[in-house]
Amino acid sequence: MVGDSIAAGGGRRPGRFLPAVVLARWALWRLPRRGQVCYLVVVDALAVAAVVLATLRFPPLAAMLTPFALLLGAMLLSAELARPAERHREDTLLGPGVDTPWIFAGVLVLRPALAVALVAFSAVHQWFRVRRRPVYRQVFGAAATALAGLVAGAFLTATHVRPLGEVLDARTVLLLTVAAVVFLAVNAALVTAADGPRHPRDAAPGYAFDAAMTALGLPLAWAVVAAPLLVPVLAGTTVVLHRGGLGRGRRDHVTLDPGTGVLTAASWRGAAEARLDRPGRQGPGPAVLVLDLDHFRRLNDRYGTRIGDAVLRAVADTLRDEVRSADLVGRTGGEEFAVLLPGTGPFDATTIAERIRLRVAATLVALKASGDGPQFVGVTVSIGVASCPPGGALADALLAAETALLRAKAAGRNRTVCAEPG
């Protein structure tokens, strides 16, 4: 990702200090809240330490390589088949999404190192094949899932549960269910501490999805060892339910822009107004960002609509990467986007807008290969920022943000302007 890449040049022997350079330019350090940065780093470090200790205490067994390979292969296959739905899935507390059943099944039947390896493979597949997030978010998501799996595994060890025993008596089923709840609860607690609590109305569908995916891990764990031929059947069923359920949910609630995958203007406005209408909110009100691509029509005329569409998709991907799961991203015009940032003060909103602006300016889209090497085109954005006070109307905040956007355009483009209070 551009925001986490390193710049060429600098020292006489840059390779020697490459790890330090990468860490120094990690997008994590640009987060506005220092406490959040420290928390994410602590969770990542705790996950690494816990994996090392668990591996030393319970080293992998050769006999588990076969079920591990079966789980890994089925997980990657089902994830690939579910990729169209996963790309547009709203964020839930369990980042792995459709991979969750396989990971939880690994927790039940594998030693810790192999179970965590499933988490790592899932994260890598999501990065290359589904959607790319900032590296620090991808790492934190994997760390939270790994810690949740280790805690659930420790619970099973402490209660002496044998999930694949010949007889699944009531006690075993009950403890396996409790282990699933522990897996969900630990992951939910870690993610909520990082991003803040979500409104129950928003969180309920995500909780239900996470619970259903985790519950599927129970029959998968049994099938992997006791009836391997059933694993492909269960994998296919998981994919069909996943894609069908998510597709129907999207049609019922929101409409996505087909060119960029973000909300359409009408869906974004409806969802944003619903957020503002909720009573009982405390702290700072939401902030609105209005973004407009600079000289986009000129780019379209010069390179064609195919390249223009690719640029729009790249900008939409950047917006999704740089905002939180609770934020709303929509395409409100041909080359205009809007973002609602709940519970975000003017300073933090401006910081986020600047991070987006710099990231977009560093994003390049390939044109074609020529004798002189590949050619690329980039774009910049101007951003207007406005706060919506408690009880304020979305239309007023949008008007203020659009006015600030016009000021940014008039000042030379490729800049962020925050609307004046009041």
Strands of 13-133, DSSP E: none
pLDDT of 228 > 50? The answer is yes
Q: Which pLDDT score, from 0 to 100, does residue 21 have?
A: 46
Strands of 262-349, DSSP E: 287-293, 328-331, 336-341
The structural domains of the chain, with segments of one domain joined by +, span 31-253, 265-418
Q: Which pLDDT score, from 0 to 100, does residue 14 have?
A: 42
pLDDT tens digits, 124-183: 988 887 766 667 888 898 999 999 999 999 999 999 886 555 557 788 888 999 999 999
Q: Which pLDDT score, from 0 to 100, does residue 370 have?
A: 53
C-alpha angle with apex 351: 131 to 43, nearest 5 degrees?
55
pLDDT of 2 > 70? The answer is no
H-helix or E-strand containing 316?
helix 305-322
Q: Which pLDDT score, from 0 to 100, does residue 165 have?
A: 52
Q: Which pLDDT score, from 0 to 100, does residue 246 have?
A: 47
Q: Which pLDDT score, from 0 to 100, does residue 203 have?
A: 63
Average pLDDT, the chain: 80
pLDDT of 84 > 50? The answer is yes
pLDDT tens digits, 23-52: 555 666 666 667 778 898 999 999 999 999
Percentage of the chain exceeding pLDDT 90: 36
Phi, psi (degrees; rounded to nearest 5) at 321 = -70, -35
How does DSSP assign 184-206, residue by residue?
HHHHHHHHHHHH----HHHHHHH
94: buried, middle or exposed (CB in 10 Å: 19+, 13-18, 0-12)? buried
Question: What is the distance of C-alpha 161 from the center of its chain?
Answer: 33
* Cβ atoms within 10 Å, residue 130: 21
H-helix or E-strand containing 383?
strand 381-387
Is the dihedral angle over the CA atoms 344, 39, 279, 319 positive or is it negative?
A: positive
As a whole number, mean pLDDT of residues 318-338 equals 88
Give the Cα separation of 203 and 324 in Å (integer).
14
pLDDT of 239 > 80? The answer is no
As a whole number, mean pLDDT of residues 252-261 equals 71
Find the range with the poorest average confidence among 111-115, 160-164, 307-311.
160-164
Give the Cα separation of 58 and 48 in Å (integer).
15
- Per-residue pLDDT band for 355 (boundaries 50, 70, 90) equals very high
As a whole number, mean pLDDT of residues 343-371 equals 85
Find the range with the poorest average confidence among 180-184, 234-238, 366-370.
366-370
pLDDT tens digits, 262-274: 888 888 988 888 7
Could you tell me the pTM of the whole model? 0.62
Q: Which residues contact 111 (CB under 8 A, 6 or more apart)?
A: 55, 58, 59, 60, 61, 64
Question: What is the distance of C-alpha 170 from the center of its chain?
Answer: 37
Percentage of the chain exceeding pLDDT 70: 76
265-418 belongs to which homologous superfamily? Answer: Reverse transcriptase/Diguanylate cyclase domain (3.30.70.270)
As a whole number, mean pLDDT of residues 225-229 equals 85
- Per-residue pLDDT band for 375 (boundaries 50, 70, 90) equals confident
